[in-house]
Amino acid sequence: MGNTPKATAESDMRYFITGTAGFIGFHVARRLLQDGHEVVGFDGMTPYYSLRLKEARVAALVQFPRFQAVTAMLEDKAALEDAVRKFQPDVIVHLAAQAGVRYSLENPKAYLDSNLTGSWNILEIARELQVGHLMLASTSSVYGANAVVPFRETDKTDEPLTFYAASKKSMEVMAHSYAHLYKVPTTAFRFFTVYGPWGRPDMALFKFVKAMLDGDEIEIYGEGKMSRDFTYIDDLVDSIIDLSAISPAEANRAAGDIDSLSPQGPFRVVNIGGGQPVGLLDFVETIEAIMGKPARRKMLPMQKGDVPRTFASPDLLVALTGRKPSIELREGVRAFVDWYVSHRGEIE
């Protein structure tokens, strides 16, 4: 399947998406709505960061007549089940989660509640309704401090460095058991440092641009020696929608030994990353060049739980969909800066 043409989602599908007030969920929902699909968005509107930003995202989505918003927590199984049963989706895209690597050191229970209990509720409902395709958002953090690069889906992921990573790995393992037992086609995709307009305020690009505009220092951890495989949000959305049309079935197995398709059930994990890591100092210099001003840098040691690098192998993604994330960092950073400058008054 190395030359498989890019898959496309069928027209007029019904997508149930958790986390539509969040960064990634918002973008996925908006693209699907623009393409003519019907979307129910489920979000708890938690105050982990600015509710103004979340409300602005939802306000943009409700402009579409084929969008419906449901506000409730993932842990509320009755509310979740009621929303899914009423909608009868073709695809569930589970993007809601307690995000943030560092916050998991302060409030691990939030990750237990959302990423484990909430994800189990999703699995139960997908089992009960026999949903056509269940899609789950995981993270590159499950690779921990892997010494071998690039990170491949078939690598061991048994040494997470944070409870956030452990919660996401646990979700993958739970989902595999459900795929085996109940035959629900399930794809888990691992994100690699997603960035772009409407992003989260706790992420590096958002924090750096805000600090530079305010004349404040930016905090650079690991003395700037870390590197990340940055993924622009539009590339990520393309990949999620492409994968939604590819059932994790033996008939869709990629050639060679790169496929993570389980022999025990319709379950697959897929990296969504371009395989082009960028050094943190190069990232800062890109921001400086676009903003036309130097950053005031505060160099700090590596924080507990941080990994030295992330580096995706995109081989399986390309084999399945025919493409990989390719938007250049400079282009993506410029799009974020333009968005932030024009929307700052609405979201802070």
Name the nearest CA neighbour of 313 among 254, 273, 279, 284. 273
Q: How far apart are CA 293 and CA 281, in angstroms?
A: 15
- Rounded Cα distance between 313 and 318, Å, is 10
DSSP type of residue 77: H
| Contact criterion met (CB below 8 Å) for 168 and 115 | yes
Task: Say whether 293 sits in a helix, a strand or coil.
Answer: coil
The answer to whether the beta carbons of residues 336 and 45 sit under 8 Å apart is no
Tokens 């509320």 belong to residue:
76
| β-strand partners of 190 | 138, 271
Active site residue 164: yes
Distances (CA, A) of 281 to 70, 150, 210: 41, 20, 17
Residue of 111, 143, 164, 340 with catalytic role? 164
- 11 SS3 class: coil
Respond yes or no on whether the N-terminal peptide bond of residue 263 is cis (omega within 30° of 0): no
In this structure, which amino acid lies at residue 310?
T
- Picking from 345, 23, 333, 347, the residue whose alpha carbon sits closest to that of residue 208 is 333
What count of other Cβ atoms lies within 10 Å of the Cβ of residue 324? 22
Q: Annotated catalytic sites, by residue?
A: 164
